[in-house]
Structure 1
């Protein structure tokens, strides 16, 4: 069977790998000059070193059914920092170690609430992954996890002090409307992964994940065509073929306009997008001088201050306003991975982005610099080079990032259940053999490959085939 995949993000490549291993003739079409979608690592313009263009830290890359079956951990090297993530505060910050008990102990009097919320999730992590779409597990395990996740989701709202700030950072990381049940659900899942497996950072950059997928696809007879934008579905699909679209709902609606009904196109057009990302990458002459020195070893740091400050910033962005104190995600990959710099360099690379209104052209360089300076006095003096990219840049870089929403769609209770339309099998379109597999399809945002996995499973089932073995050997 001829198989076309439009878009080469992790989900599109996952579908391509599965279909190629099942013996089908697979071609991936990518409009950009290299494969990977958000899994892209580029060189700085005017400084030595490389930076991740979109995704940098991957909480789900070692957790999802697809990547575990694919044995990604055997194909590329990951660093797992002892501190999965931290939440910067003036004075003593809140730190989430991979070790749950150490996390709770260092949170002091607020730590027992964190331990009570997280321990059941870590204990039933396979069920938690099943509920979040990352894994398929027996119903009993899922039932235990559902109870635990419900307890943690509600429990997040009862945390106090440092533990509440730590939860707020995890919740805002998922970009759901702050304070909602959907937001706390996403935050609880991310926090559970921080303690169960950790938040891994791929050696060499995010592109290493895309390269591993492309290498396997080519090894099994598939091909990738870059610099090729598909504008009409009839160019890549005819009845009897299979086609997978790692594109947003609106993008698919435009490509398939000649073949889908007005009703289905209208349903796709109702899909909504969330806050944009305004990104700044730094080259520093040394490590960030955090006031709380523990943060020097954190893979990810959330800059948001107390929970109320995070909440105000996120609500402002959602309402179309720029906060003077935005919520910022920060990663310091070269604390672990020196391959991103020339041999012998003492510099550090820092990856950051702030949540801003969708479609904003705001340059966040100065705001983010000042935000870091609040928690790391002297940071500004270490800047050797910085490059800024507003939300409008991401909207132009990738058509899936509508308005600079790098997560591919707003996360709220309704859209968690109806991505991208209200149907029992959201990966399947009304066209026979045509499937949606971007972050707009379940389980949503993240580098996990599961939307592609689900779509490919349905395609193979339609022709009487089971999922192939995806292991390295």
Structure 2
């Protein structure tokens, strides 16, 4: 019997997860990667000075601990993970800060008048994190397996995404703490879709926590690649694919498959891409971009509030009103003077990331799509606001504009590394309205990027969903994770 071929374009976590599943199912797998190294959005490199190891795109990975694929794969055992007691921190003016501890009771107690409100909103979701992950981690067009959690989660997202959300809490600290995670969605606020994404992140913060690998994000694709090679797969680097019509990926008539961990736009280069599906892909919208700045520091960030030193993830932007104003300015095509800054300081727990006594700091702001703005000074000013003396700690910095992100990774159209605008419509139809959005109308071709459910995040689930469909279509057999691992 002839072995079926599988070609995967893109070596991000979703592409490699699809490749691992296909190889374990008996396919002869080749992964094609444009860069000289693997990883996509999970690369780690010396961007500033020798000995300072920076994550090129993603840095902290809440979704990794709720991923069914990573759980079956054994990612927590194959990679050394650091899980902080403080999942994320939110400094405020006057030396104040709100901290989202992994211990929800400790978090709630720190919010004073909002202790009960925080518990009421997040404790049921954190307690049933697997159900929350199921609600958010699959396509929306199906009967929910956990209807009570589905309703509870949906009502909270509706509340926070509407004017009602302004009455959810009484304190500036609680509002800011939740708005910081909601702002990850990179869209105009308030928003039901962004609130859903923020609720998931906040729930993960109080469940398994927000973990990150020792040594940097690169450990994740390296573990997947090792398993792929152990099952006969190959990875070809330095091979950029811009046109599927020129790609020899096998014969779909005999069950060969092509999986794209790329922008869905690449699928439009297939000779058979046409009709309503192709029109829907052309209508699929991308969101604002990101302008990133990596810093090499002569010591830790000198935060005014001591507890901010304990959290690898820091949301910098002030009050809820300030963050919303900044995100709405970006949605209108402007870069705000005081933007929302997402920062990660892995060196507080991981001494391998910088020379002894030194630190790395990973930051980015949201910017209009295709922006060429260098955010170094803007980010420095905003951090200095909550960490006086930060500027004096900078040894070197490295800026990556949204335009440069789009060149580095064509999947990040306009610098949008979320893989598409986070809107309610595009949560339901991502990138098309379908019960199987990973399958294309072209025989043997599947989508497996952040532009498909469950969307952005380091979880490998889009790759698994695409691979499961590809295996079933090619062999007539439905496989589950327990069949492969």
TM-score, normalising length from structure 1? 0.95
Given the alignment, which residue of 112, 118, 126 partners 1:114? Answer: 118
Structure 2 residue 102 is the aligned partner of structure 1 residue 89: no
Cα distance in structure 2, aligned partners of 1:408 and 1:294: 33
Aligned to 1:167: 178
Please report how far the alpha carbon of residue 109 of structure 1 lies from its aligned counterpart in structure 2 after TM superposition.
1.1
TM-score, normalising length from structure 2? 0.93
- Structure-to-structure mapping, 1:346-365, within 5 angstroms: 346-365=357-376
Cα distance in structure 1, aligned partners of 2:411 and 2:342: 21
Answer yes or no: is the 8 Å Cα contact 2:24–2:484 preserved in 1: no
Aligned to 1:50: 53
Q: How has the CA–CA distance of structure 1 residues 76 and 430 changed in structure 2, closer, same or farther, with 3 Å as cutoff?
A: same
Answer yes or no: is the 8 Å Cα contact 2:37–2:237 preserved in 1: yes
Please report how far the alpha carbon of residue 375 of structure 1 lies from its aligned counterpart in structure 2 after TM superposition.
0.3
Cα distance in structure 2, aligned partners of 1:154 and 1:421: 23
Cα distance in structure 2, aligned partners of 1:141 and 1:83: 31
Aligned to 1:441: 452
Aligned to 2:104: 100
Given the alignment, which residue of 199, 222, 235 partners 1:224? Answer: 235
Answer yes or no: is the 8 Å Cα contact 1:408–1:440 preserved in 2: yes
Cα distance in structure 1, aligned partners of 2:483 and 2:401: 39
- Structure-to-structure mapping, 1:281-320, within 5 angstroms: 281-320=294-333
Structure 2: gaps spanning 5 or more residues: none
Structure 2 residue 436 is the aligned partner of structure 1 residue 432: no
Please report how far the alpha carbon of residue 468 of structure 1 lies from its aligned counterpart in structure 2 after TM superposition.
6.2
Q: How has the CA–CA distance of structure 1 residues 470 and 371 changed in structure 2, closer, same or farther, with 3 Å as cutoff?
A: farther
Please report how far the alpha carbon of residue 200 of structure 1 lies from its aligned counterpart in structure 2 after TM superposition.
0.3
Q: How has the CA–CA distance of structure 1 residues 180 and 469 changed in structure 2, closer, same or farther, with 3 Å as cutoff?
A: closer
Structure 2 residue 304 is the aligned partner of structure 1 residue 264: no
Cα distance in structure 2, aligned partners of 1:354 and 1:77: 29
Aligned to 1:454: 465
Q: How has the CA–CA distance of structure 1 residues 194 and 471 changed in structure 2, closer, same or farther, with 3 Å as cutoff?
A: farther
Aligned to 2:263: 248
- Structure-to-structure mapping, 1:55-204, within 5 angstroms: 55-90=58-93, 91-133=95-137, 142-156=146-160, 157=165, 158-160=168-170, 161-204=172-215
Please report how far the alpha carbon of residue 465 of structure 1 lies from its aligned counterpart in structure 2 after TM superposition.
3.1
Answer yes or no: is the 8 Å Cα contact 1:63–1:134 preserved in 2: no
Aligned residues: 468
Cα distance in structure 1, aligned partners of 2:310 and 2:384: 18
Aligned to 1:22: 25
Structure 1: gaps spanning 5 or more residues: none
Structure 2 residue 411 is the aligned partner of structure 1 residue 392: no
Cα distance in structure 2, aligned partners of 1:199 and 1:155: 25
SS at match of 1:149: helix
Q: How has the CA–CA distance of structure 1 residues 164 and 45 changed in structure 2, closer, same or farther, with 3 Å as cutoff?
A: closer
Please report how far the alpha carbon of residue 173 of structure 1 lies from its aligned counterpart in structure 2 after TM superposition.
1.2
SS at match of 1:87: strand
Cα distance in structure 2, aligned partners of 1:124 and 1:313: 33
Q: Deviations over 1:134-181 (max 9, x none)?
A: 699x98861121122124324541223211111100100122432111
- Structure-to-structure mapping, 1:383-422, within 5 angstroms: 383-422=394-433
Two-structure CA RMSD over aligned residues (Å)? 1.9
Please report how far the alpha carbon of residue 318 of structure 1 lies from its aligned counterpart in structure 2 after TM superposition.
1.2
